[in-house]
Amino acid sequence: MHDFMDDTMRSVTATRTPQGGTRIDGRWVDNPGTPTTHEITLQPLSSKARESLERGGERIVDGRVIWINDGTGGNIAQADHWSFPGTDGTFRAVSIDHRPWRSYCKIVVSRLDD
């Protein structure tokens, strides 16, 4: 990603929390996994990408695009929650393009509402 960096992109250490749970007596009980940290490149979501996702039925609040730089994207899932330094709130994955054979992982995230 070094040659592709511009003024709108920045590298940070993000925290990913896998989401999961189990059904107990017919009720869903959340059981988030162990948080992990990843070196990522963070960029605002373009208006064209936002428009495309919203046409598909997604509600985007404070959209961002992240690329995993450390090559450890093997178990990243759409249900994961992300947090970044310098931003308020937690983000959820909206779209994932993961190609482990090329060490490429692009994720579109949207901030969760309170």
- Whether residue 54 lies inside any domain: the answer is yes
Read off the pLDDT of residues 54-80 as tens digits, 9 standing for 90 and up. 666 666 778 888 888 876 666 788 888
Q: Could you tell me the residue range of the domain that residue 48 belongs to?
A: 29-111
- Whether residue 5 lies inside any domain: the answer is no
- Whether residue 12 lies inside any domain: the answer is no
Read off the pLDDT of residues 22-45 as tens digits, 9 standing for 90 and up. 788 888 777 778 888 888 888 888
Rounded Cα distance, 20 and 106, in Å: 22
Tokens describing residue 96? 């994932």
For the entire predicted model, the pTM comes to 0.75
pLDDT of residue 8: 57
- Whether residue 9 lies inside any domain: the answer is no
- Beta carbons within 10 angstroms of residue 69's beta carbon: 18
Instruction: Determine the distance from the C-alpha atom of residue 109 to the mean position of all C-alpha atoms in its chain, rounded to a whole number.
Output: 4
- Whether residue 99 lies inside any domain: the answer is yes
- Whether residue 72 lies inside any domain: the answer is yes
- Whether residue 21 lies inside any domain: the answer is no
State how many domains the chain has.
1
